[in-house]
Structure 1
C-alpha cells in the first residue's frame, strides 16, 4: 500500500503539515519560529505542572497549568494538544506555552468510493493493544490514478451499524489521519444508494500453510493442487508472528503482482475448517509394496509410498500414500501388514491411503528379528541410547520410532525393537519400530537371561569396614572381658570374613518402581572404589539377589567450601542449589586430599566424592579447584551495619554450625531482618566472630533469589581479657571462644617483650591458628599500669631502718667468670629508691 494522495484532504491540513513536519533541533530555530504551532500529547500531569510530548520533534517539554487555555481539570494523559515552544529565561530550556486541546484526528471533506475487502469484526481496545497503536481489522480498498490503496476501518466507522456489510460491497467514505501516529483510516462509511440487487462478493480462498521461512512462506490451496506465495505482513499488525507456522489453516484473497499470484488479506481459521479430502471411515487391511522414498529436490511428487489391499469385490488394488498419511513417524518396511482408510482428494478426485498404522501380526508373519534392551541414557529433545541384552552393544534411538502415542520413557525401562542401518547414521545400527515393555513381560520373555540396569550407589562396600575400623578398639576390649574367649575368637574370625565380603547397596528404578539391590566389592568391574551417589550399570537376574558386573558410568562429584579446619579434621559447606538455609555439613580429614593439604585454607573451594559412614556423609578424594562462588551471587552495592546473632563455629569434634546469622541494624540501631552467612562471606577468614560483634556487610542475591550476607568486616577486632595461666613459653587468657572458656597464646605474640603475670589485663586479636586451626590470641599488649600501687609506695617510704641493728650482706668475694680472672659484674651498682622500679639496661 502506498501513501494516500494529498488531494483527499482539506486545504488547512496541508498547511498544517507543511509546517509541523519540519524537524527543528536547535535553540536558534526554536527562537526564530516562536509563532509556530506544534502538535503533541499530554504525557504527565502533576499538581501544578505537566509534560507534553511533541509528535514531530520527538521531544518532551515542560508546561505550567496557567498555559493551558481550557479547563485544566478536564485534561487527561493522552489528550492531543497544540502549543508553542519558547526558551525559559531562567533555566534556558524550551517549554510549552499557549496550550490548546485539539482533535486527535483530521477528517477529509471529500467522499471517496471504494469496496469492502475485509469485513470488520467487533474488537475491544483492552485486548492487549493500546488506543493509540490499535489498528482495526476491517479493510476498504479503492483505486486512484492507477494505484490501489487499502485503509483499515472499525465497526464504529459505519454510519449505520445495523446494515450487514459483506466483502465486495460498494461504499463511500472519508479519509482520516491520526495526528499522533500519521496512520490513515476510512471513516463515515456508507453503502452506495439505489443498489437493491445483491452485489457479487469477491471470492475468498482457503488453505493450509505448508512452508514458512523468515518473513514469507507458501500456502497449499484447498481449491487447486498448487501452492501460493504470501508475505507475513498480509496477516495484519494484530497477529503475533509466532502463531504463523506450518499447519495453520487460513483464508485469503489472491492478487496478481508482477504476473504472479500472491495471497493477501490473510485471516487465520479455526483448526479443521479446511478439508482437502473426503474420507471413507471403513478400515482396510493392506500390505506395503513400496516404502516412502526420498524424493528429488525438483520433484513435486509427494505420494512416494504404495500398498496393496483387497477391495470390497475381492479384487487386488494399489493405493499411494505420503509422509502425512502415517499415524506415527516410525519406519514402515516392505511387506508390513497395515490398517488404513481411503481418502479422496476433492481437488482432483485422486484416491490414496491415509491414517496408516502397523499391526502386531506383521512381526509374526514376516518373522522379523526383534531385539530387547534397557534404556541407559536419554536426551529430552531427540532420543537416547539402549543397552542391547543379547550383547554389550549400545544402540541409539529416536522418540519418533516409538510405536505409541502419549508415551513416557525413563532410564531403566525395557524396550523391544528392530535394528536398521542408514548412511545418515555413519553406517551404525540404530533402533526402529520400538515397543514399550513392562518389567514382568520382559522377565518372562528373556527366560532368566541377564538384565542390564542403571542405578545410583546408596551405600558402598567400604562403608561398613570403615565403621568397624573406627570401633575396633571397643570390640577388642569386649572380647577380653568375655569369659568364653575361645568362642569369641571364633566369632571374631567369622566377623572378619563377613567384613571382607561387606555388601553395598544400589538404588534403581525399573518399570516406574523404585527398588534397591545389594552387591559385593568383588563384583565391581572397572574401578576399585565406588562412592555414594555414583551412577553405575549392573547385571540383574531374576533368580539372584545380588547385582553383578557393576560398572561405573559417572562419578558423583560434589562441590563446596572449607568452613572449619581443626587438628587434621574439618567440615565442608556443600553447594546445593535446592536448599539454601538447611545445609548438612560434610566431615573430612586432611588425609582425604589428593594434592598438597598444606595449601588448604578456610574458604577454599573443593571438589569431592561422598561416602556414607554410619549414616553420616563424609568427603573423600578431595581436590582444590578454582573458586566459582562469584558466579552464584550478585552483590548489591549498599553497605549495612549489623550484629552477629550466631557465628560459624565448631560445637564438638563431630558437629558444627556452618551457617551463621547476622541481624541488620538501621540508622537508629534498631534490629531489623536477619541474613545467613558462611565463611565465604567473611573478608578476613582467620578472624573469629562472636555473638553480639558489630560488623559491616553487604547483601548478595543468589540465582534462586535467596539472600546472604557477604563482605563481612568486624568493626573492632581488639579483644580484652585477663591472664589465666602462664606455663613457660605459652599460657591461656580467660576469654570465652567457641566451645572453650580460655584462649591460647604464645610468648612470641607479646608486643614489647614484657613478661605477663597472672591477672594482667591484656588486649589481643582472636584468630584461628594457621596450622592447627584452633582459636588463639595474637599481638598481645598489657593494658594495666606498670607502677606499683600508691599504698605500697607510701608504706615503703614510711619504714625506718636502724643501721646498727639491721642485718647486712657482706661481700666476701666478687663473682668471677669461668676463666677465674675477670669479674662477673661489669655494671655499676645503683642504689634503689623505695617504690621505684629499675628498668633493665641492655
Structure 2
C-alpha cells in the first residue's frame, strides 16, 4: 500500500487551501487579491471564508484573521523534516518550530509521493480554540529553490573581527542544537562606518557569523578568523533566527600579532609548557602548533610563539618556532654601569636557580653550591635602589678558572649593570665587578711564611694572636707576581673568612700595603706618672758565665711594676686581656700597676729603684690586648729610709 493510499487522497479538510499552481512568496505579496480568491475557494474552511490580511516582515509571510478570535490561520513556508505513514512534520522557515500535518492537507495537485526530507512547502498554521498545538494545513508543494532563507542586506562591506567564532561543542546535530549553543559558537563583525546597504539605507553596525561563513585564503588553506582582522563580507537577514548574518567573509589584512619568546620547560607525549620571557606565566601548548613539524622539540629549546585564548579563555601558545640557542633573554639591560656598595653578602645553597626565573641550563650551573641572596645599594636615574644579585650575576676576574665567583663582603665598592627581569618586571644587579674593598672588617698583618710549591702562606696578624693561612694567588692573578708580592715581611691588608674545607679562619682578598704601615702596638701618649713598686736586676750586671739567651732575657724582660693612679690611665688605654684571654681591666684597675721592661726606659743606663717617681706612656699590644708602660723616665728619686714621698702632681 502506498503512502498516498494509506493517508487518503486530498479530499478537502480542515482549513481548506489554494487551488491551482503553487505561487512564489514574492508573487503572493504582489497579488494579494489572487491569494484571497485562492483561499476563498475552499468553503469547508471557516478561516478561508474570512477576509485575510497579508503582510511581509523581512521575508516573513503571514495571513491572519481580522476577527481577532482565538482561532486564526497564518501563511508560512518551510521544509519537510520527518515523514511517517500518514503524516509528517514541517520545519518553519520563519521560526525554529516544527508543525504536524496530515497528508490529506496537501493541495494543488500534489500528493504524499512527492514528499521527501527537505521538500519545500507553503502552508497555513491552524491554531485550535481549545488550546491544542497548532498544526499545518492547506499545504502546497513548492518547486525546489523557491524558499529563500536569507534576504540580502548589503554586499562587499568592510569591517573588523570583534569576536572570534568558537568551535562547535554540541555533537547532537544542528537540528537539536538550542539557541544558547548557537550563540556560543558564533562570532561578530563590526562594520566600518559610512557604508550603505542595497536599499541605500546605512548598513547595520554589526552582524554575527560562523566558521562556515568564511572563504578560504588564496593558498587554499582555511581562514581562521582572529580578533582585529580586517575583512570584506556580505550581510544577509536570516529568516529562521531573525538575525543579521555576515556571509562570504574574506580576509583583507590579518592582525599582526607580536611574537613572544621563551624556553620549553616541560614536554609530555603531545603537549608541553613554555616559560615565557615577557610574562610571569607558563603557557600550555599542543605539539600540533609547531610551525615546522619536521624537527623534534626538546626541553630547554628556545622558541618564539603567538599567545592566544583557548575555548576556556586561557592563554596558550600557537605557531611555535624553534630559535637558535642564545637568542632568548629573560633580562633587559637598562643604561650603563653604575657604582654601588654591597649591603648584604652572598649566601651558599645547594639548590640552584632563581626563584620564579627560567630553568638553569647545564652550562649555566656552577659547582653545585649556588650563591644567592646578595643585595647592592646604588643610585640609578635619580632613584635610590636596593638591587638583589646572585652568584651567576658576578663577573669573574681575568685569569679566573671560573669555578666560583669572587666573594663580596659588606661595604665593598662595586660596579653593576641594572637589568629588568621581563617576566616579573623586577630589577636586579648583574655584571657585578669589584672596584675596591670595603674598609669594614679589614685587618692588617705581616707575611711570616710563604711557600711557592704549595701556594700557601702565613700572616702574623695585628689584631689576633693566632697566625692566619692565605693563598698566594689572592695577591695577584699572575703566579710569578703573586709569589714576589708574598715575600716574607710584606705588609698586607685582608679580610677573614671561614675556610670551606675545615671551617678555620683564613685570610682572603689580600692587598699590599706600603712598608711601615702595619703596627702591632698602639701608643697612648701621656705623659702619665706613677711610682716604681718593684724592680728586678738589670741585665747589664749579669755574670759573664751566664748563657747569652739568659742575658738577653734579662735585658728584654720585665724590669718592674709601676703603681699608678689607675682610673685615668686605664680609661685612656682601653680594656686589656689577662693571661687566659679574659678581660683583666677590673683586676688591673684594683692593682693600678703596669709592667715595664728595660727597653721601655728612656735612659737605658739609668737604674730605677723602688719608690722612684716616674713619667711614662702606655703601650697596648694589639694581638694580646695587654698593656705596659713605655718611655719610662725618672721624675723624682725614692726618698731616704723612714720618709715617704708623695706622688708629685702632673705638670
Bigger Rg over Cα: 2
Task: State the TM-score, normalizing by the size of structure 2.
Answer: 0.27
Quick one: higher RCO (CA 8 Å, sep 6+), 1 or 2?
Answer: 2
Task: State the TM-score, normalizing by the size of structure 1.
Answer: 0.22
